[in-house]
A and B are shown apart, each in its own frame.
Chain A
Amino acid sequence: MTNTTNTRIRKYNGKRNRLDKPELLAPAGNLEKLKFAVHYGADAVYIGGQKYGLRSNADNFTFEEMREGVQFAKKYGAKVFVATNIYAHNEDIAGIEAYLLKLQEVGIAAIIAADPVIIETAQRVAPLLEVHVSTQQSIANWQTVQFWKEEGAPRVVLARETSMDEIAEMKAHVDVEIEAFIHGAMCSSYSGRCTLSNHFTDRDSNRGGCCQSCRWKYDLFEDDRPDLTKLVSEEEAAQEPALQPFKLGVTQLPLFQEQQNQFTMSSKDLCMIGHLPDLVDVGVDSFKIEGRMKSIHYVATVVNVYRQAIDSYMADPDHYQLKPEWIEEMNKAANRPVNTGFFYEEPDHEDHIYEPEEKAAPYDFAGLVVDYDADTCMATIQQRNHFKPGAEIEFFGPNGTFFKQTVGQIWDTDGNELDAARHPLQLIRMKVEQPVHYFDMMRKKNR
């Protein structure tokens, strides 16, 4: 893995395109996830509001929650962006202006937008909102980057089909902020160029209704019907050998065997933790993690790891080393195989998920530390998942703080000893072997 650190210097002429620290941009599906993402080290988070976002199934923020989220983030010097990344239909247009004004008023720093009607409206009515052009625009060349810069966008989010070399060329041609997805699930299509959901379930994918039909299973066939337009007479048809299977009722040939995996468009998740130096050196300004639908445990863990890696590289690029424990950490919260997307080589047949999917992540979020008494070494923990004495657990917090222990005796807040922590959000007291802090998380291994 450390080889990439050495080859990059030559590849990008040994110069960093940008000396500032890149931004770590994390997803936040709701207010609680926002707080975790920020506390665990995100420089900015992106969220969805009640309208115009592409995750209509997510919790999504009210304006009041946004205001609270912005205030919380502010204490950490972090920013909040709102995804307004649908492609609007005529009837969606009327409310855009009021919605964007409200976003500006509650202190949102930027919107992530694809549809020019939203981009233009924001520039006209809400000038304090930055407009970041969404990956839904499938920006894959430097001239299109130039176009959006000239249209007043300070930042573009690249198509996920863009390679490291292509980004280098974009940076050489255009001085504009570049945001790139570095981690998480990906559309296997060009973003926006997929209406599988519309066709299968009457849900409009480009307005937030995507039902992930690309993860479904399909059978691949070859049409074996004869081309009837080429036949001129019945006698000729009778002579035609190609027609024999058709006469026997065979009209399609399967391109798979029984017991083989079925066809799917499902792609592996992106993970660039092994290549952070390349991303920094090529000049990506914002490192984006996908996953507004992901759990708190996932968001906190992934953000925590990238935060440490970025800080470590920026502090001393020449001696930067990828730490194996970072990858171990991420694997505890993730459940899909990963790859490097289009950054280095075009994905091939090993970059899909043909096998049955979705085993649960190996670890679960078991409890949240809400208080700690240094004199007694007693922690107060809010239950987030069933656990009981004897369970092997891990505590972790921002900046990679981490230790393992076994759960000993546990009590409720009235001092009654418990045989298990059964109730969601119940406050549990237990002895911990090292100091912990508010917002530290406790995870347990899934059986």
Chain B
Amino acid sequence: MTTKPELLITAGSLEEVERFLKAGATAVIVGESIYGMRMPGQMTLADIELAMPIVRKYHAKLYVAVNNILHNDALKDLPAYLTAIERIGVDAVIYGDPAVLMTIRSSAPSLKLHWNAEMTSTNYATARYWQKRGSSRIVLARELNMEQVLEMKQYLPDMEVEVQVHGMTNIYHSKRHLVQHYLRHTGQEEETAKVGRDRKLFLIEQERQEEKFPVYEDENGTHIMSSDDMCILEDLKLLLDAGLDSFKIEGLFKSAAYNEEVIRVYREAIDAYAADPSGYAFRPEWMERIRLVQDPERELSFGFFYKEQMY
């Protein structure tokens, strides 16, 4: 029996927290859009307080996303927010903006920190830099390839490394309200009121008619998401062998039922590996179960794990 990696997912409500833990997740990320980026639902401090006993019941972990790019006006209430989070006793705060680090030092020093700067968390030396400044975990950029992901633990033996294994990724974030602007430009003022995730808007680039890129707006601007869902299940063994600490499923834009099934499948795979690492083998039926619930218009891909990128 080896140490199992954490199976982590974002959750948007108390109900989702409980359902995901029941399905086999061992950690959940929650938050609200004033501080947290692209959360699947709003969880206030009161909700987080209520989530804590549920999480403990399952011997799981609760992380709060405070990973927005912050402007001055967000700083005023940040100390109180982080102090409250510390008092509730969550297991870590996820951050990218150094202002959060500064505030935690002064207002909530016992909170653990996970460094997640999205596309820009790309190398071990920078992970160490943030480790020296108090971060216990790096959340790897999704644009890294398999080789780069696998070697991370060799460089970071005493830092947790989290890698996304499943779901969509954000590929563009603007402070501008691009959808509203376009609707207004084309004389569709009445459409501008509904531009959130529920509207299920997507973009198609002229020369890529098969790919649909979800787009939505919230208080933090415009978010464009990948047209595919990464799924590394077939090669999960590589990540398990490499000793990565946390496998993340991105729950955004998915039904709770979909996320539960994905959790169950990854749970089985992780448990099977832990029970017998050398005898472990990928089972095709795992993939079949995910395909059954997968939106047929969204490809299940390997993300950037096996892509050659130029620059």
Contacts A146-B102, A169-B72, A354-B185 given; does A56 touch B172 at CB 8 Å:
no
Residue of A93, A143, A261, A267 near B98 (CB, 8 A) is A143
> Which A residues are CB-close (under 8 A) to B182?
220, 255, 263, 349, 352, 354
Question: What 0/1 pattern do residues 205 to 235 of B give for CB contact below 8 A with A?
Answer: 1101000100100000110101100000000
B307 contacts across to A, CB distance below 8 A: 202
Cα of A256 to Cα of B188 in the assembled complex, Å:
9
Measured CA separation A122–B43 after assembly (Å): 42
Determine the chain A residues whose CB is within 8 A of the CB of B275 once the complex forms.
none
Q: Are A349 and B72 in contact (CB under 8 A)?
A: no
A219–B182 alpha-carbon span in the complex (Å): 11
Scan residues 224-281 of chain B and give those whose CB is less than 8 A from a CB of chain A.
224, 226-227, 255, 257-258
Decide yes or no whether B35 CB sits under 8 A from chain A: no
B70 and chain A: residue at smallest CB distance: A141
* B129, A255: Cβ atoms closer than 8 Å: no
Contact A140 B311 (CB under 8 A): no
The interface stretch among A41-49, A206-214, A273-281, A316-324 is A206-214
Residue-wise, chain A 195-210 has the 8 Å CB interface mask toward B (1 for contact) of: 1101110111111110
Is B119 on the interface with A (CB-CB < 8 A)? yes
- Among A189, A192, A206, A346, chain B packs the most CB atoms within 10 A around the CB of A189
CB-CB contacts below 8 Å: B86-103 with A: 97-99, 101-103
Residues of the B chain whose Cβ atoms lie less than 8 Å from the Cβ of A203: 309-311
CB neighbours (8 Å) of A219 from chain B are: 203-204, 206
Measured CB to CB, the nearest residue on chain A to B99 is A143
| Interface presence of B15 (CB below 8 A) | no
Instruction: Say yes or no: A218 contacts B72, CB within 8 Å.
Output: no
Closest chain B residue to A192, Cβ basis? B120
A270–B182 Cα distance when bound, in Å, is: 20
Stretch of A109-117, A391-399, A415-423, A438-446 lying at the B interface:
A109-117
The reply to whether B148 and A89 contact each other, CB–CB distance below 8 Å, is yes
CB atoms of A214 and B176 under 8 A apart:
no
Give A257 to B186 CA distance when docked, in angstroms. 8
Q: Which of A90, A202, A209, A256 has the most CB of B within 10 A?
A: A90
Are A193 and B126 CB-contacts (below 8 A) given A114-B120, A147-B98? Answer: no
Q: Is the CB of A116 within 8 A of B176?
A: no
**Least CB separation from B222: chain A residue:** A265
**Does residue B300 face the partner (Cβ distance < 8 Å to A)?**
no
- Classify chain B: how many residues form its interface, as a range: 35 or more
- Given contacts A143-B103, A198-B304, A349-B184, are A148 and B176 in contact (CB under 8 A)? no
Contact status A87-B206, CB under 8 Å = no
Q: Are B201 and A195 closer than 8 Å at their CB atoms?
A: no
A148 to B173, CA, bound (A): 23
Chain B residues with CB under 8 A of A207: 309, 311
Closest B residue, CB atoms, query A354: B185
B126 touches A141 (CB 8 A): no
Residues A263 and B173 in contact, CB atoms below 8 Å apart: no
Per-position contact with A for B11-31: 1 when CB-CB < 8 Å, else 0? 000000000000000000000
A373 at the interface (CB under 8 A from B): no
CA distance A162 to B178 in the complex (A): 18
Are A141 and B72 in contact (CB-based, < 8 A)?
A: yes
> B246 CB to closest chain A CB, in angstroms?
19
Enumerate chain A residues within 8 angstroms of B126, measured Cβ to Cβ: 87-88, 115-117
CB distance from A225 to the nearest CB of B (A): 8
Question: Across the interface, do A93 and B123 meet the contact criterion of CB distance under 8 Å?
Answer: yes
Q: Which of A142, A200, A257, A347 is in CB contact (< 8 Å) with B205? A: A200
Contacting pair B98 A222 (CB below 8 A): no
B289 at the interface (CB under 8 A from A): no
Interface pair A222/B185, CB less than 8 Å apart: no
Q: Return chain B residues, CB-CB under 8 Å to A206.
A: 119-120, 122, 143
A218 lies within 8 A of B172 (CB):
no
The interface bits of chain A over 316-335 (1 if a CB of B lies within 8 angstroms of the residue's CB, else 0) are 00000000000000000000
Would you give the 0/1 interface string for A143-164, flagging 1 where the beta carbon is closer than 8 Å to chain B?
1101110000000000101100
Which residues on the A side are within 8 Å of B291 (C-beta)? none
A115-B126, A207-B311 are contacts. A229–B257 as well, Cβ < 8 Å? yes
Tell me, yes or no, whether A221 is within 8 Å of chain B by CB.
yes
Question: Are A195 and B119 closer than 8 Å at their CB atoms?
Answer: yes
- Chain A 383-424 interface 0/1 with B at a Cβ cutoff of 8 Å (1 = within): 000000000000000000000000000000000000000000
| Nearest-Cβ distance from residue B74 to partner chain A, whole angstroms | 7
B118 within 8 A of A: yes
**Contact present for B200 and A222 (CB under 8 Å):** yes
Best-buried of B102, B103, B204, B309 by chain A (most CB within 10 Å): B309
Q: Do B72 and A202 touch (CB < 8 A)?
A: no
Q: Complex: how many Å from CA A56 to CA B310?
A: 10
Within 8 A of B (CB), among A80-132: 87-93, 114-117, 120
Q: Answer yes or no: A63 CB below 8 A from chain B CBs.
A: no
Known: A93-B125, A255-B186. 18 other contacts (CB 8 A): A88-B125, A89-B144, A93-B123, A141-B99, A143-B98, A193-B172, A204-B143, A220-B202, A229-B258, A252-B202, A255-B182, A263-B182, A265-B174, A265-B222, A267-B176, A346-B175, A346-B176, A352-B182
Partner-B contacts on A (CB < 8 A):
56, 87-93, 114-117, 120, 136, 138, 140-144, 146-148, 159, 161-162, 166, 169-170, 188-190, 192-196, 198-200, 202-209, 213-214, 216-223, 229, 252, 255-257, 260-263, 265, 267, 342, 346-352, 354
Could you list some 6 contacts between A and B, CB below 8 A? A89-B123, A140-B72, A188-B174, A206-B119, A209-B311, A217-B206
Q: Which 5 A-B pairs have the closest CB atoms?
A: A209-B311, A223-B200, A143-B99, A349-B181, A117-B125
Q: Which residues of B contact A (CB under 8 A)?
A: 69-72, 74-75, 97-99, 101-103, 118-120, 122-126, 129-130, 141, 143-144, 148, 151-152, 155, 170-186, 188, 191, 199-206, 208, 212, 215, 221-222, 224, 226-227, 255, 257-258, 304, 307-311
